[in-house]
Chains A and B, each alone.
Chain A
Amino acid sequence: MIRFDHASKRYPPGMNALADVSFEVDAGELVTVGGHSGAGKSTLLKLIAAIERPTGGAVLVHGQNVGSLKRSAIPYLRRNLGVVFQDQKLLFDRNAFENVMLPLTISGFPPVEARRRVQAALDKVGLLERQKAMPIMLSGGEQQRLAIARAVVGRPNLLLADEPTAHLDADTATDVARIFRDFQAVGVTVLIATYDNSLFPTARRLVLDHGRLQ
């Protein structure tokens, strides 16, 4: 599903965010990427979603070398991924339903089927009743669950999440972690960057230290 082959990412001033990272994730696995802040967790996820390109080595997703994808091919790669961003990136000028609808609109989903899917996704994260609410009205945990609903609405077989439980209280964090485990249970490959491994006891762990895998 995912293969890093001596991948590295160096930012212009000569800072190595990732150095010579190699690992594989099989389909259906739940994997966490741990490590101190600034260890390169976010960079690793960004390489998979082609938000950044590796400066060395190769990153393969579904057998495709992401680093050498043409610019015009990147949108189609991203449509097959669900990403929960560290800062969630919810749009505050539209309600919960419309936020979740956005990926389907982008991929040109038929409207009627899309509406059904948005409701299913909202139901899955327990927000169906709040579909008309604006994000600002939602609690931190609800906002995070909304971001998850948006990530999974396109039914991707690979789900990436960057610190999805940060800034959440213990109960809410457990709740959110359970949602990710549920997706893994139905066959979705899940890769989570988190400093808190205890929330995902069944996950395989990768740990980064100053850009290198331990």
Chain B
Amino acid sequence: MSVWLSQHGDAFRTAVRRLAASPVNTLLSLLAIGVALALPAGGQMLVANALQLARNSAPTPQISLFLQLDADKRAGQEIQARLKDHPGVKVFRFIPRDEALTRMKSREGLADVIEALPRNPFPDAITVLPEDDRPEAMEKLAAEFRKLPKVEQVQLDSDWARRLAALLKIGRTGVVLLALLLGVGLVAITFNTIRLQVMTRRAEIELSRLLGATDAFIRRPFHYFGILLGLAGGIVAWLIVAAATWWLAAPIGELAQLYSLDFALRPLAALDSVLLLIAAAGLGWLGASLSLRQHLTDG
């Protein structure tokens, strides 16, 4: 066990030494990997933020019913009675047209406009919180409400949220696609770096074999080399994304304020960061393995 540990320790130190031995090459590789990984990582950061924004500003999904302007009190009560017994309705709230008017008057800038109107332009309205808030169920419920007498319009508040969700799905797919493509790029970078390493260390590898080194012993430092390169590249990517987040935070905050949104750009989530580093290290290892299989078979 201690032999195993010390051999891995040796291999690790050897890998670090080899990375440090050619600082310019190492730095260039790290930058290439970092930039490549920063794209999907940054994309993920943006998508996560957009999701957060959607979640924050979308209230619990509800259905709004607007009655016809000429609907009288009785018609309103009839509809309320039906909603009360409806199994698909969790809660509902009746908003009389007078209440809507007072509420709108209290809004800055609107009071004058409304004052100028000859009569109350608002209909009676009912907001319904459904029992089942899945989109299909809500769609069905809305269709049912549309058939009620004296109902002018039924509006699904989840519509825009669904459009946003669909957009975000595309964004997320884009991130995955980017991650796959640039992951392949990372594998290619480590593959080539390890190939060069094997070439420059041919004498050492050959000698080690002659002195009784197992394949595992010879491969081990290269595996660590690949893992370290990937991991360090992942850290560079993380730093790039963090810097971008920091840079974007102020202008986006300003924009959010203009739209009166309670929103601040968040950095890459902890879980995503850990995933990024693990994926980077794993891809580095993969590139090294493939390269070794290709270039270390003889002897």
Contacts and interface: CB of A to CB of B under 8 A. Distances in A.
A83 B212 CA distance: 11
B106 interface: no
Chain B binding surface SS class: helix
| Max chain B Cβ within 10 angstroms of own Cβ: one of A72, A74, A77, A105 | A105
A108 interface: yes
Given A89-B203, A91-B204, A106 B217 contact: yes
B211 interface: yes
Interface of B: 2-4, 6-7, 10, 203-204, 206-215, 217
Given A75-B214, A89-B203, A91-B203, A110 B6 contact: yes
Nearest to A49: B210
A102 B214 contact: no
Contacts, number: 49
Given A91-B204, A91-B207, A76 B3 contact: no
Contact of A78 (B3, B4, B6, B211): B211
A91 B201 CA distance: 10
Given A75-B213, A78-B212, A103-B212, A110 B207 contact: no
A49 B214 CA distance: 15
Contact of A72 (B208, B209, B214): B214
19 contacts: A72-B215, A74-B212, A75-B209, A75-B213, A75-B217, A79-B212, A83-B210, A83-B211, A85-B210, A89-B203, A91-B204, A102-B207, A106-B208, A106-B217, A108-B4, A110-B2, A110-B6, A111-B6, A150-B211
A136 interface: no
A49 B299 CA distance: 13
A89 B210 contact: yes
Interface in A65-90: 72, 74-79, 83, 85, 89
A209 B226 CA distance: 50
Contacts of A74: 212
A84 to B, nearest CB: 11
A107 interface: yes
Nearest first, the 8 closest Cβ-Cβ pairs linking A and B are A78-B212, A79-B212, A108-B3, A75-B212, A106-B213, A103-B211, A75-B214, A89-B207
Nearest to B213: A106
Chain A binding surface SS class: helix
Nearest to B217: A106
A185 interface: no
A158 to B, nearest CB: 13
A118 to B, nearest CB: 14
Contacts of A102: 207-208, 211
Contacts of A111: 6
Contacts of B10: 105
A51 interface: yes
A191 B209 CA distance: 21
B5 to A, nearest CB: 10
Interface string A105-132: 1111011000000000000000000000
Contacts of B4: 108
Contacts of A107: 212
Contacts of B212: 74-79, 103, 106-107
Contacts of A105: 7, 10
A72 B217 CA distance: 12
